[in-house]
Amino acid sequence: MPDRLNGTRWGGCQRRIGLTGGIATGKSSVGRLLAQRGLPVLDADVFAREALAPGSAGARAVLARHGALVRTMTQPAADSDSLDVIDRGALGRIVFTDPAERLWLEQLVHPLVRARFNSELERLASAPLVVLMIPLLFEAGLEELCSEVWLVDCDEQQQLQRLMARDGLSEADARARIAAQWPLARKRELADRLIDNRRSPEELALQVNQAVGRT
């Protein structure tokens, strides 16, 4: 039997699709296909960026910890003061090479993201279907928010090449970011449905349509 740590699923009437995968496997592509169908898509990455937005409590905590290493300045508008802004690239270089710093950041951001999911799900309580796009769904133990979990899957070498091309990373940096998440092999055992993103966009769209319709 698959290892189903954190395996409890949402048991309410609303259908909640937990959309996850490894970095650069194609979650955003699947999320766009679902949004094009008119489905509400709640994106954990968007909520995480909000949690570290200029002037937020999360941003102040990061800047207090890392200071000039991650600070960049915005130009002040005519009617406002300048704000210290986090250089997300610099922060990424810290947390993807230091597990202790990555854990600290996750402990700061994850509760804020979870609170945003809770408030959005309450707002969308009457919607028959909601998509929760969560890259670290298994790592953060958020399956309990979802009635089913879809894993956007591809070969590990495809994942590496896509990440390097997308973010302009060296192979070493790309491998470090992939290693910060659970391996795809482990996530495959925990998912309820695999969305295969090894081939064409047309085939991906067909799979998504079938999965939404459960055909």
Confidence of residue 104 (pLDDT cuts 50, 70, 90): very high
Nearest-5° Cα angle at 140, 113 to 35: 55
Pairing mode, strands 129-133 and 15-21: parallel
pLDDT digits (tens, 9 = 90+) for 138-179: 999 999 999 999 999 999 999 999 999 999 999 999 999 999
* Superfamily of chain region 8-40+127-215: P-loop containing nucleotide triphosphate hydrolases (3.40.50.300)
Q: Structure tokens of 167?
A: 């973010």
| pTM strictly above 0.85 | yes
Residue 62 has pLDDT above 80, yes or no: yes
In terms of DSSP H, where are the helices of 23-82?
Answer: 27-36, 44-51, 57-66
Domain boundaries, the chain: 8-40+127-215, 47-123
Q: How many other CB atoms are there within 10 angstroms of residue 6's CB atom?
A: 14
Distance between CA atoms of residues 182 and 171, nearest Å: 18
pLDDT of residue 215: 41
